Amino acid sequence: MTDTSDIQQMTMIQAINSAMDVMMERDPTVVVMGEDVGFFGGVFRATAGLQDKYGKNRVFDTPITECGIIGVAVGMGAYGLRPVPEIQFADYIYPALDQLVSEAARLRYRSAGEFIAPMTVRSPFGGGIFGGQTHSQSPEGIFTHCSGIKTVIPSTPYDAKGLLIAAIEDNDPTLFFEPKRIYNGPFDGHYDTPAKSWAGHPDAQVPTGYYRIPLGTARIVRPGEALTILCYGTMVHVVEDTVKAMGIDADIVDLRSLIPLDIDTIEASVKKTGRCLIVHEATRTSGFGAELLAQVQERCFYHLEAPIERVTGFDTPYPHSLEWAYFPGPVRIREAITKIMKD
């Protein structure tokens, strides 16, 4: 059911806030928790106003202990609540890794379905804001390796709200990574030009009511015949602008969720175009792009007209002083496209 009675222009932050508001109003078992999410409204203001509306029992601040935040959320889920914990920056999710992997991801399996952990862990991730090594990481690949966890990454305000609602309703633990570089506007990768806002963008027109986007459904950003580009989060906008500037007839696939993965859409696109480029900001070795490459190679080998290419971050900590050398920007994407199209 989708309520499209009222449409408003929203930033991604506002859309995420709206999703939590809608779900807290619909379902009294939904609770929001995390560092500074209550009175302060979150470091990026994604939870602003929720504590005033729903009270301190449903929107509350926690100590600075990521392991404790997720451990408590696992217990809440087992007892019938739907917690939405926030990890203030994805870089600080590692202390919670044991609770996520050993407890949340396995609770349904080891209890034979008697208990579940219906929790949605929200966390800003990615670079492009000069956050340095401790505020710019993209750890999504770690969680896609762990059975029992779903991993979701939106690229627009419209998708952010619909996907977050679907994640909160899901009975399995979900990592909801929010690309903070595009919280307030799309980013084309040209860091030396003025920042853009979501104003006037078609994907910033968001219903104020309830709607959901099923997890595991990719989005074709633009259809094309010459090349398939697989991407997600901030990189969707960088890829789209680069392709437009080059005049390449590319089929751009926004994955939206990594686990579950919409492999059918990917396979159909690559078989149509015969060429594939994978773009993500995370480090290259064992990044999710390696899994995508393997899946495409296994399913589409006889349709490929050129080797699959990857444009990713490097196998180093995110450098503060060399941010734009590390970031997979238009120059590196353009070089990869040129190479593929020559083969």
Residue with tokens 């222009």: 9
Letter for the amino acid at 265? Answer: T
116 has which bridge partners? Answer: none
What is the rounded CA–CA span in Å between residue 181 and residue 136?
Answer: 10
Residue (of 156, 152, 128, 342) closest to 262 by Cα position: 152
What is the rounded CA–CA span in Å between residue 6 and residue 195?
Answer: 28
Measured N-to-C along each axis, helices 157-169 and 12-26 cross at an angle, to the nearest 10 degrees, of 30
Residue (of 274, 262, 312) closest to 290 by Cα position: 312
Tokens of 338: 């040129």
Could you say which of 135, 190, 237, 303 is catalytic? 135
Q: How far is CA 107 from CA 116, 136, 171, 176, 214, in A?
A: 6, 30, 11, 19, 23
Whether 201 is catalytic: no
What is the rounded CA–CA span in Å between residue 12 and residue 8?
Answer: 12
- Cα 130 to the chain's mean position, in Å? 19
Other C-beta atoms closer than 10 Å to the C-beta of 138 total 26
257-259 and 227-231 as β-strands: parallel, antiparallel, unpaired? unpaired
What is the rounded CA–CA span in Å between residue 306 and residue 207?
Answer: 42
Identify whether the C-beta of residue 176 lies closer than 8 Å to the C-beta of residue 85. no
Identify whether the C-beta of residue 303 lies closer than 8 Å to the C-beta of residue 278. no
Residue with tokens 């862990």: 121
Residue (of 40, 47, 39) closest to 17 by Cα position: 47
Q: Which residues are catalytic?
A: 135
